[in-house]
Amino acid sequence: MRIKVLGTQSPYVTENHNCPGFLIESGQHRIMLDCGSGTHRMLDFPNDLNNLHVFLTHLHRDHYNDIFNIQYASYVFHNQKRLENPVEIYLPMSPQRIYGDIISESNSYTKYHKIKSNTKVHIGELEITFLLVEHAVETYAVKVTDGRNTIVYTSDVSFISREQLVDFAKYANVLISESSLLKEHGFPKINSHLTAHQAATIAKEAEVGKLVLTHFWPEEDVNKYLSEAKEIFEDVEVAIEGMILM
């Protein structure tokens, strides 16, 4: 299992930074976790469209915007007979207007699957499971395991989901956690997003091998997130576009 960082920033892109996305490769299969603005430029077309499974953790713009580019590229490459199998897209069913917008796109060579709490997906030797977490819309944390290594991606989440996330991520090799906020931003402790401190708290309680922080505010210095997390949990790094996490 190989994990590449495609995007680390929200809510908008800047020169070398995209909105959230990660690409996991295992054998001939590709798993894309989120599809934020700019992430599709990190893919190698049309090769990476083959055996591609895209999981949208929730239907906020910064996590799904590039799905439309992937849909249209799949349509064109299929027409050119350069893409044999449809791109498989997994997504929650709400907000219904956005769900409907994505699945009704006709210029697309894709198949759709609904994500629910009890959804379990097997792709090659990978098993993928989901945890419904607290956020502004229906949102799922994702766990991917090949039986040897396990990675957990929090998606966007409130600290309200702390206990459930700790259970879900227990002993994972890599925890990819959003850390949109810093303590110094002065938001209330319970917000729709985590601080770096809260992400590190979850990593420590879940006893994960490594914490990777992501979902940074574009105007902020990423080293601040790193320092704040290190107060709690030593084995932490910040995600950077193009970085290989495993």
Minimum distance from residue 213 beta carbon to Zn ion (Å): 14
Distances (CA, A) of 232 to 184, 196, 197, 203, 204: 16, 9, 7, 9, 7
Query: 39 CB contacts (<8 Å, ≥6 apart)?
Result: 6, 7, 18, 19, 20, 21, 32, 66
Q: Which is nearer to Zn ion, 83 or 157 (CB)?
A: 157
Please report where in the chains the tokens 């907000």 appear, as a residue.
95
Q: Which is nearer to Zn ion, 10 or 161 (CB)?
A: 10
> What's the Rg (C-alpha) of the chain?
17
Looking only at residues 151 through 180 of this chain, which bind Zn ion when binding is defined by CB under 5 A? Answer: 156
The answer to whether the bond into 95 is cis (omega within 30° of 0) is: yes
Contact 154, 165 (CB under 8 A): yes
Length of the chain: 246
Minimum distance from residue 34 beta carbon to Zn ion (Å): 8
What are 139's two structure tokens? 């949102």
Q: Which is nearer to Zn ion, 66 or 156 (CB)?
A: 156
Number of residues engaging Zn ion in binding (CB under 5 A) = 3
Minimum distance from residue 10 beta carbon to Zn ion (Å): 4
Minimum distance from residue 185 beta carbon to Zn ion (Å): 16
Minimum distance from residue 63 beta carbon to Zn ion (Å): 5
Minimum distance from residue 78 beta carbon to Zn ion (Å): 30
Per-residue binding string, Zn ion, 109-148, x by CB under 5 A, is ----------------------------------------
Please report where in the chains the tokens 């915007």 appear, as a residue.
65
Q: Which is nearer to Zn ion, 10 or 74 (CB)?
A: 10
Q: Among 62, 66, 138, 241, which residue sits at the site for Zn ion (rule: CB under 5 A)?
A: 62
Q: Which is nearer to Zn ion, 78 or 178 (CB)?
A: 178
The answer to whether the bond into 11 is cis (omega within 30° of 0) is: yes
Per-residue binding string, Zn ion, 6-35, x by CB under 5 A, is ----x-------------------------
Angle between helices 96-103 and 67-79 (to 10 degrees): 20
Residues making contact with Zn ion (CB under 5 A) = 10, 62, 156
